[in-house]
Structure 1
């Protein structure tokens, strides 16, 4: 439902929720010099394979640029392009904020606090399951 309703919020900009997550990650101060594909995958908690096609489409659409990493030429550094930054700041972000205000409109501060707590707990449980599965796959 988040994907469906969230994508509607930014569809006029030609974005999906996955693309907004990538732009959001790259818009952070810590990512001003870009991120490797591996760093971005870890930050977004997705596989490199799932991210690869998405990044290629976003690069094709002019939202991103990917260049060889100066420290590791085998790795690519992904950065938001100037047009991607303008899209993110001027068009997408206001619509994303309005979307969150609408979906959280009847939540009290207490509701949001408890929801965040529960979602973080759920995320921790999922990470533990993933870690156990990764160990089994390595054996």
Structure 2
């Protein structure tokens, strides 16, 4: 258990440092790491017509409540827009605006790539592959736990 505690504490520290140093890396673009994640999710070709707020929350693995505040600020700043889904009027779609796309492609992405390069200094391709493998294993286990907890609470999420 001592080793498990060290792993999860270091994971917690890494997440906090990602928010802190990642936000500093892109703060000149007026973005946070949460906004970076939203723009990254919305920049994918398969969602060029937008994503429902629920789908975006599930993709990012955040609550709709937490996402709502981030999206409000991003809409205010002109990075995203929200509109009714033409297929389901009860659902709202989030879409990256042209301004958001410009900020993402021309401003944020080069800084993000520089950040990745700096953070991954000393990592070989093999190191990165193994790290990704183990993070995916952790994530799979956490998703399984989340599903079981949701089912036991009866919320079905």
Same fold, TM exceeding 0.5?
yes
Aligned length: 139
Matches within 5 A, 1:62-73: 62-73=78-89
| Aligned position for 2:101 | 85
Backbone CA RMSD of aligned residues: 0.9
Q: Structure 2 residue aligned with 1:19, among 29, 35, 40?
A: 35
Q: Please name the residue that 2:77 is paired with.
A: 61
Task: Give the one of 80, 89, 95 matched to 2:111.
Answer: 95
- Stretches (4+) displaced over 2 A: none
Residue 37 of structure 1: which of 21, 28, 53 is its match? 53
Unaligned stretches of 5+ residues in structure 1: none
5+ residue gaps in structure 2? 1-16
Residue number in structure 1 paired with 2:4: none
SS of aligned partner of 1:100: helix
Q: Which has the higher contact order (CA 8 A, sep 6+)?
A: 1
Q: How much does 1:50 deviate?
A: 1.2
State the shift of 1:128 in Å: 1.1
Match of 1:48 among 57, 61, 64: 64
